[in-house]
Chains A and B, each alone.
Chain A
């Protein structure tokens, strides 16, 4: 039977690639459709943007840090789109590409032959367990093993191990052991390999499957010694590295392209030696000037301003820094909101950490705080759960309970920040499971465009309830806690729309559940439209009485607006009095009473209307007031901007002069920034710095990593002293200047 099964599965899967597993068969051992497959049953045609692809990622042993982060990035919609569309291509190429050379490599063909080739081809030698053919074995005889004592965890059908095995077995498996960098016109890099993965997922005919990111890991390990060991790695560190790497690759490409473009123009008409450039040539020439290399920055980058106020001369200096994610310190029983506020709390610079004030010319005590000046589109929030404890001489995991809401705004913005009330929505959570920083497991829980929240646990993808996201606040005895949170900007309208949709979905699910459980006959359900029989008797009276009531109203209160809908409800409530006429009391009395009541109601209504009117007026005034305030603010901002431009220009001039004149201020200066940030944002500093223009230019040459620790990465490096050479260039820890953390 196992042989039958082995033949059967690959044979059928191409036939129904969308909801890959074949429908339920008589075979009791047949795999039940997974929750994900059930979820996707009603799916329509596959979208071209990749938003309805749900692929797991194979784990090659402790590569879950990579899987969880890449999944989060894949479902960061603008990021995915930009990765796919960079370098920009002309439309025909975009159409061509999937059918051209890469296609055979994409493994879209899932014939048994190709599948076999895949496993044979995979050079890294996946252990037999995870290879498709090997994994299929337990599938055929799960019933035999489940009841036995001492079964392996993967034999339990509910265990993630089993589900992961099943996922690989079900396939299709995209073995990403090739690279297409040439066809992108780029040299092989983490970026091209990430792009390969994204493209492959999108191009594939199946909605579900498993990706084996061989090449990606190979490049990662080749270029980064840190990730070469099969040890457990830090997912946040990886995210940071990946983002920086992508920035670097993209910029390098642009630079190279520029050079190529020039040579192209010089050697006008001659074919270039590099064949790879040819397909991109038309677009490249057109877009040389406009190659947008800053898209990672546009998405993830925000600006922090550190304000330092010298306590001696009261002089305040500002300095801006860019960040790609925010690392926040945690406290027991706190929330993300509070952690972010603490991040921006004032800090005293005293004793060993005195501040060198330009104004008074010496080391002074000062107050320093960091605020967010420019909010990023995507806010990657790193919860610093791994903390260096001095007495243990190593990192320790903090299990603090830290609440995170589905929606977020930031309190710690500067006064001149643009859109300081920007609304963020949570869309991805990277969860660390384990007792310490040196071992454990990462998974991610991601909100997809129209399939709700999904749990991505290596090869396994499973739909989860929205409330499931809240299981990872942490706390004592809770091993699984959120580690990196991805918030993206959204609007109130979008939020409300979504909540409405959620509500409607919940309501419909409730009604269907009721239908099922109560076994209500369809007639009864339909009965709701007409009301049940009792209701039939009453409704006509309401209809008849309504105009009457209106007439009454018109007599006593001419103030009846049809647009005043909320009040109409009162009117509808009156007719219901009518049945009382048949009661013991005399009809006349009743009518009078009703009339009196109506009049009273009318009076009430009048009053209410007045109140409403007044409120409305107030509201209007208030709004006008606001508008005025806003206008003033805008004017003031514009004025300050203009003056700032002026200032900056003057400063720049000064800086040029200063560069020649000033001498090094020594290691204690707090305004050195890491070399990397300068390399990535060369244009950034001169324009933004207000008071440190002179010093910045003087420190521009790259500094040693240890000196870096002084500011930008102080917290990070002290967190991970053994990883001194970490590439957390943009990650900004809370700048506690002391090292006991």
Chain B
């Protein structure tokens, strides 16, 4: 036996194996304009060219934080969650909702007649549409997103909530600002604020139709004016001490030339309400007083000035009020107690655990409502255009549709396999699109509550999906998706095309029963119940089946190929946005790609407008 050398050692520090510590000084953003065929996308409607390639500077780690350098690649230390750069975009000027183009006059007259009746008559659409939705659809007019205005406000039935809100909204014109000044703040949470030297001048010069963007890069938040000729120079940069901003959202109701309500969710669980114009802020869920886990997604409640919804990594969804104080949260166990049936359902995991209902009378402090969706991390959620539902996707591969007004779970689906990462609604609220670790973009029909198609084309996990509302009409939809494979994919799917190959009989039958069923119901309600009990005999629990949907086998599902696939970056992409005249992508290391498409219709070419 020869003498053996000693067991292998771990590589010495300094080897490329060492994780990048990043720059040690503040750097500036850089803007380039690469040209060439490799920076173009060719799609049916024309060619997109790369307009701007903006590289956002990665901030150096905070000096108080000794750079943790572990040469051991097997180190089991758990690093805090971090994400790539995401954007929140806002145009100050009130603009026509992009969705309105969906409901052009011609759509109601010509093509409408070809639409299968099940789509036209959509009182059943989201299964909880109010009666006025029904009347809408009876005219053959699809429910428009504006309908959100007709839906009752969240928690509207709770006098405690409305009382508070009513009292405070005496002067609707005067927007309330957060309390503390972020520049002068001596909070240990905020490290530094770097406003642009000529911030006020730039604010004045800003075109109201121009695009503001807020972007997170590690512990920094940058406010950018994407229409400015000096767009690489940030308007304001806020550096936080330790926490990374993982998600943010702008309130579209309260935005104005002198006011932007931005809400930020952090890796520490903290939430900051930030008004960049006046540099004021307020910290909510301070040190995780209400929920200590990281915020994975945050959004303002539609049409709400004050309320926003945050998903935490422990699987809870929490509604906060931007102006309320924190209070240590103790679950209010009212819902299961009042309704023993929901207890039973809870065992089957097919329900939403309401830890605090919006109808709770204790509304002096945050949280306004607290729902435990699942125990695995919620990766993303999205509000439906009719402002009634939320679609929630989780790390365990589950995808839920929740009626947040009624605080109940409507549907529970599952990914083909692996976790789900992103979700969005079609502009008309008929379809939900998800992306996940199965490399698939999945399209779900809301009205039929089923999987419509799987879109295969990504070579890795899908990290963001979005509808292009400017290229959607009532029968054709344009979807974009980006993934870990650095690719941007565009998908076109049309309602008729998708349904024909499979389940054709279902559709046909459906169109018949939609009329017969109603008759039957008006005549004898008893028959309906009998039907129910009959089906109960055959399947073990009808109720559960209704909520929990099994995974569709591959053989039964339509596969949709992309219309365009293009590697647009060197790094995994993590965010995608469609604007009227461009597509914007961002990647994990803070690079923004702005793909201009010059021949989009009705374009306000804001580069020209901004001079």
Interface of A toward B, CB cutoff 8 Å:
59-62, 64, 124-125, 127, 129, 153, 159-161, 164, 230, 232, 331, 333-335, 337-338, 401, 403, 405-409, 411, 420-421, 423-424, 431, 433-435, 439-441, 443, 455, 457-458, 462, 464-465, 467-468, 476-480, 492, 496, 499-500, 502-504, 506-507, 510, 513-514, 518, 524, 527-529, 531-532, 534-535, 537-539, 542-543, 546, 558-559, 561-566, 568-570, 572-574, 576-577, 579-580, 583, 597, 600, 603-604, 607-622, 625-626, 629, 633
Contact = CB atoms under 8 A, between A and B. Distances in A.
Interface stretch (B56-64, B187-195, B490-498, B550-558): B550-558
A561 B131 CA distance: 21
B366 interface: no
B342 interface: yes
A255 B20 CA distance: 58
B128 A604 contact: yes
B147 interface: no
Contacts of A579: 159, 361
Given A434-B11, A441-B8, A613-B521, A477 B16 contact: yes
Contact of B417 (A61, A64, A423, A565): A423
Nearest to B410: A566
B359 A576 contact: yes
B518 A610 contact: yes
B164 to A, nearest CB: 13
Given A510-B292, A565-B339, A570-B406, A435 B15 contact: yes
Contact of A338 (B15, B449, B450, B458): B458
Given A337-B438, A565-B339, A573-B157, A61 B503 contact: no
Contacts of B130: 604, 607
B396 interface: yes
B416 A409 contact: yes
Given A153-B9, A334-B459, A583-B159, 16 more contacts: A403-B484, A421-B555, A431-B74, A441-B7, A476-B16, A477-B18, A503-B374, A524-B330, A537-B361, A568-B341, A597-B157, A604-B128, A609-B528, A613-B532, A618-B509, A619-B449
B78 interface: yes
Given A337-B439, A409-B416, A565 B485 contact: no
B361 A576 contact: yes
B74 A443 contact: yes
> Which one of A164, A499, A538 has the highest number of Cβ atoms from chain B below 10 Å of its Cβ?
A499
Contacts of B374: 503
A455 B74 contact: yes
Contact of A577 (B157, B437, B485, B551): B157
Contacts of B7: 59, 61-62, 64, 164, 441, 458
B20 A477 contact: yes
A615 B334 CA distance: 30
Contacts of B518: 610
Interface of B: 1-2, 4-11, 15-20, 72-74, 76, 78, 123-125, 127-131, 134, 157-159, 292-293, 314-315, 328, 330-335, 337-339, 341-342, 344-345, 349, 351, 357, 359-362, 374-376, 396-397, 406-410, 414, 416-419, 437-439, 448-450, 456, 458-461, 484-486, 503, 505-506, 509-510, 513-514, 517-518, 521, 525, 528-529, 531-532, 535, 542-543, 545-547, 550-551, 553-556, 572
Contacts of B521: 610, 613
A543 B459 CA distance: 55
Nearest to A617: B513
A24 to B, nearest CB: 22
Contact of B546 (A443, A568, A616): A616
B357 A60 contact: no
Given A568-B339, A572-B339, A433 B333 contact: no
A443 B8 CA distance: 12
Contacts of B509: 618, 621
> Which one of B16, B159, B407 has the highest number of Cβ atoms from chain A below 10 Å of its Cβ?
B159
A13 B130 CA distance: 71
A535 B357 CA distance: 12
7 contacts: A59-B7, A405-B437, A405-B438, A477-B19, A566-B547, A615-B449, A625-B503
Nearest to B550: A492
A393 to B, nearest CB: 22
Given A421-B554, A615-B448, A615-B449, A499 B376 contact: yes
> Which one of A61, A331, A524, A609 has the highest number of Cβ atoms from chain B below 10 Å of its Cβ?
A61
Contact of B314 (A420, A507, A559, A576): A507
A595 B407 CA distance: 21
A162 to B, nearest CB: 11
A565 B342 contact: yes
A461 B141 CA distance: 64
Contacts of B456: 411
A407 B418 contact: yes
Contact of B460 (A335, A528, A616): A335
Given A477-B18, A480-B74, A607 B342 contact: no
B459 A408 contact: no
B332 A615 contact: no
Contacts of B72: 159-160
Contact of A500 (B330, B349, B408, B439): B349
Contacts of B438: 337, 405, 409
A620 B345 CA distance: 22
B406 to A, nearest CB: 6
A564 B375 CA distance: 26
A574 B374 CA distance: 26
Given A334-B485, A479-B73, A608-B127, A506 B337 contact: no
A625 B552 CA distance: 13
A622 B506 contact: yes
Given A420-B555, A527-B330, A616 B485 contact: no
Contacts of B73: 433, 478-480
B566 to A, nearest CB: 14
A615 B484 contact: no
A160 B10 contact: yes
B124 A611 contact: yes
B203 to A, nearest CB: 39
B127 A335 contact: no
B491 to A, nearest CB: 17
A394 B332 CA distance: 65
Contact of B15 (A479, A532, A539): A479
Nearest to A153: B9
Given A62-B5, A64-B7, A580-B159, A506 B17 contact: no
Contacts of A465: 76, 78
A576 B157 contact: yes
A573 B314 CA distance: 26
Contacts of A608: 127-128
Contacts of B513: 614, 617
B458 A506 contact: no
B546 A626 contact: no
B104 to A, nearest CB: 28
Contact of A333 (B124, B360, B485, B506): B485
A467 B78 contact: yes
Nearest to B128: A608
Contacts of A580: 159
B418 A535 contact: no
A622 B74 contact: no
Given A153-B9, A160-B74, A462-B76, A611 B335 contact: no
A492 B414 contact: yes
B503 A622 contact: yes
A538 B357 CA distance: 13
Nearest to A620: B535
A626 B362 contact: no
B11 A333 contact: no
Nearest to A563: B543
Contacts of A401: 484, 572
A232 B503 CA distance: 56
A577 B159 contact: yes
What 9 pairs between A and B have smallest CB-CB spacing? A503-B375, A61-B4, A479-B17, A611-B124, A405-B418, A565-B341, A480-B73, A338-B459, A335-B460
